[in-house]
């Protein structure tokens, strides 16, 4: 049994890209640097470096995990299925606080200028979007919540909350 978050994460990415979903917390940084050197003949070389990164945390509304075969699929708590609320479907698990999702992106580039005016450059951009800004809602702890006894309040799952 596992939790399939792929559809929810894809929908969240689209909502973020179209601007309809705003982050709870966002942090970004940018750095630029130049290094130049001159050799003994007077030829100059210049390297321009730049780097940008950003992190954002998004909070969902309440979520219901619905059983579907060997996995659970997250849906909004307001969804109605065959005339009944999703939270009342047999085997459904409700998370009243929803989930926290984190998105990280970064890019860096450099340009090399030589005396002949030749320019060479490289750029790398990456982005990741994942469940996990709130470590109490990672996949392992969610599975543990699904299969834990309602009267048992302790677990052997290690979690660590980092300051935002």
What confidence tens digit (pLDDT) does each residue in 102-154 have? 888 888 877 777 776 656 555 555 556 555 444 455 556 656 655 554 433 33
Name the 3-class secondary structure at 12. helix
- Domain residues for the domain of 105 are 52-114
> How far is the C-alpha of 126 from the C-alpha of 105, rounded, in Å?
6
- Find which of 35-39, 75-79, 124-128, 137-141 is predicted with most confidence, using mean pLDDT: 75-79
- Whether 32 is in a domain gets the answer no
**Residue 91 burial by Cβ neighbours in a 10 Å radius (0-12, 13-18, 19+):** exposed
| pLDDT reported for residue 83 | 92
Domain tally for the chain?
1
Residues belonging to the chain? 164
pLDDT at 20 over 60: yes
- Whether 155 is in a domain gets the answer no
Q: Are 36 and 45 in contact (CB under 8 A)?
A: yes
pLDDT at 33 over 80: yes
- Whether 146 is in a domain gets the answer no
- Whether 56 is in a domain gets the answer yes
- Whether 134 is in a domain gets the answer no
């Amino acid at each position: 049994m596992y939790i399939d978050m792929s559809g929810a994460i894809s929908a969240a990415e689209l909502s973020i890209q179209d601007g309809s979903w705003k982050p709870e917390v966002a942090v970004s940084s940018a750095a630029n640097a130049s290094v130049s050197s001159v050799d003994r003949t007077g030829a100059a070389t210049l390297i321009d470096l730049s780097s940008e990164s950003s992190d954002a945390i998004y909070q969902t509304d309440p979520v219901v995990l619905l059983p579907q075969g060997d996995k659970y699929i997250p849906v909004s708590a307001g969804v109605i299925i065959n005339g009944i609320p999703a939270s009342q479907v047999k085997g459904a698990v409700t998370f009243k606080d929803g989930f926290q999702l984190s998105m990280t992106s970064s890019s860096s580039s450099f340009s090399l200028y030589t005396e002949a005016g030749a320019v060479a450059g490289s750029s790398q951009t990456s982005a990741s979007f994942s469940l996990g800004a709130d470590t109490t809602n990672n996949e392992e702890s969610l599975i543990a919540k699904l299969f834990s006894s309602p009267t048992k309040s302790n677990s052997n799952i290690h979690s660590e909350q980092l300051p935002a």
